[in-house]
Amino acid sequence: MIWEFQTEYLVLVVAVVPTVAAACITTVAESGFSNWGNTQARTKNITRINMSQTGGTNGPEPAIPRNGPEPAVAKRITLRNRMHPTIRSKFRMEVTYRYITMKHHIEGAPVESDFELKSASHVLLVNDESNDVLVKNLYISIDPYQLNRMKKYSSSQKGNSFSVGVAPGQAIDAYGIGRVVASANKGFAKDDIVVGVIGWEDYSLSKGGNMLRKLETSEFPLSYQAGILGLSGLTAYAGFYDICKPKKGDKVFVSTASGSVGNLVGQYAKLFGCYVVGCAGTKQKVDMLKEKLGFDDAFNYKEGSDMRSTLKRYFPEGIDIYFDNVGGEMLEAAVANMNPFGRVAVCGVISEYTDSRKRAGPDMLDVIYKRIKIQGFLAADHYHLYGDFISTTSDYIRSGKIHILEDISHGIESVTSAFQGLFRGDNVGKKLVQITEE
């Protein structure tokens, strides 16, 4: 049996934020041990308590179990924080952090009063066996699919571990970039920059660290890692190349073409040698698609009521590839205008996120007789393309062949308004919130 004692006490206050709670890190060497149960059993016990407090009626366990955001639970952890003598532990780190949570399930478009900013504490026992990593969040990716996690029910919630439902009061996982503050994981060291699943919070405790990737390069601005070189980029790249299987000269239609994924799909398609038309919701965006991003054409989908004839006008020779980010009427119209052997990559259904009655009913006779393939996909299944994606996209960035569209808000307080803006079409390109300056 190994007994290790340390007597150093280290207390660091790294940030003081007056709004809701001070984010603070406390690093305390373990100095007392008791003998009531082993640490694993205790952690399990506490996790169970958290789950029962936060799972609600929604049921599914979050993809990345986290120490409970509820201050009451954090307090409990602090009170019971006495290491079992079998655990080799040099010090304990505690950080009080702010996180955004929902007050209740959200069924329509999100509004400010759906959310609240709360505070809680993460506790990391450095050098224990958890492999956990404590991360200070720098950039958070703001994505429409999160709205489906916030509903009482959405079919997406059972589809994938990334998309499980979020219960009111619970923390909200999100893709982003952070800097390691402390690590119980050999793969990560203090000050490593990491990309992966963090959350709508200023500090995240990555359980086991297995949803994080250490960033090895600093060639590009850090924010790119949450956009063009992150999941949005891989989604665009995999969706276009792996799902749509383009041929040079193909006629490509992209909806929400000024969005985080759409603008990249359009640019990849142009660089590949396709004819590309995009749609967006304002004249300014339409102009940008044509003038800045080099789309062959673009239109404002809010003008003109008959989407079928609009698409007919923009694609007199028919559509070969439709990269669908919206679903609903647009999907119907695109299928109606498709050429034989057309391909639809179904990436998003934003028109239905705030109103499920807008469900699409594409003409299945078109699907049969034009041998159309409609395929849903998630970037996570296409990591075999990751090397190609990074290499190709980095080259495009270096040579200035691809434009980076970023739309960055600042501070955790802006997360909720940034999120609401997605459903009003406020964003141009990748919507990010920079939680803090480096």
* Of positions 74, 83, 349, 428, contacts a second copy by CB under 8 A: 349
**Shortest reach from residue 321's CB to a second copy, in Å:** 15
Backbone angles phi, psi at 274, to 5 degrees: -100, 165
> Residues of 248-265 as b/e, b for ≥16 C-beta within 10 angstroms?
eebbbbbbbbbbbbbbbb
* Cα-based distances in Å from 74 to 9, 41, 66, 96, 283: 20, 17, 11, 9, 49
Interaction residues for a second copy, span 321-340 (CB under 8 A): 324, 327, 331, 336, 340
Stretch that binds a second copy, among 22-30, 204-212, 341-349, 393-401 (CB under 8 A): 341-349
The verdict on 159 binding a second copy (CB under 8 A) reads yes
Nearer to a second copy, 107 or 413 (CB): 107
N-terminal to C-terminal alpha carbon distance within the chain: 42
- For residue 424, give both structure tokens: 């009003």
The verdict on 160 binding a second copy (CB under 8 A) reads yes
Nearer to a second copy, 154 or 420 (CB): 154
**Shortest reach from residue 170's CB to a second copy, in Å:** 20
Nearer to a second copy, 360 or 415 (CB): 360
- Could you tell me the sign of the dihedral formed by the alpha carbons of 281, 283, 288, 289, in that order? positive
- Residue 20: alpha-carbon gap to chain centroid: 24
* Of positions 73, 347, 402, 404, contacts a second copy by CB under 8 A: 347
* Of positions 123, 197, 226, 372, contacts a second copy by CB under 8 A: 372
The verdict on 309 binding a second copy (CB under 8 A) reads no
The verdict on 359 binding a second copy (CB under 8 A) reads yes
Backbone angles phi, psi at 310, to 5 degrees: -60, -50
The verdict on 148 binding a second copy (CB under 8 A) reads yes
* Of positions 271, 378, 385, 390, contacts a second copy by CB under 8 A: 378
The verdict on 367 binding a second copy (CB under 8 A) reads yes
Adjacency order of strands within the sheet including 91-102:
9-12, 24-28, 91-102, 115-126
**Shortest reach from residue 162's CB to a second copy, in Å:** 9
- For residue 48, give both structure tokens: 């169970």
**Shortest reach from residue 154's CB to a second copy, in Å:** 6
Report the distance separating Cα 163 and Cα 146, nearest Å.
Answer: 7
Report the distance separating Cα 63 and Cα 55, nearest Å.
Answer: 12
* Of positions 23, 181, 289, 360, contacts a second copy by CB under 8 A: 360
The verdict on 364 binding a second copy (CB under 8 A) reads yes
Secondary structure class of 108 (helix, strand, coil): coil
Binding pattern for the stretch 381-400 against a second copy, x by CB under 8 A and - elsewhere: x-------------------
- Other beta carbons within 10 angstroms of residue 355's beta carbon come to 12
Asked if residues 44 and 142 have their Cβ atoms less than 8 Å apart, the reply is: no
Asked if residues 329 and 300 have their Cβ atoms less than 8 Å apart, the reply is: no
Nearer to a second copy, 2 or 368 (CB): 368
Q: In the complex, which residues of this chain contact a second copy (CB under 8 A)? A: 148, 154-156, 158-160, 163, 324, 327, 331, 336, 340, 346-349, 352, 359-361, 363-378, 381
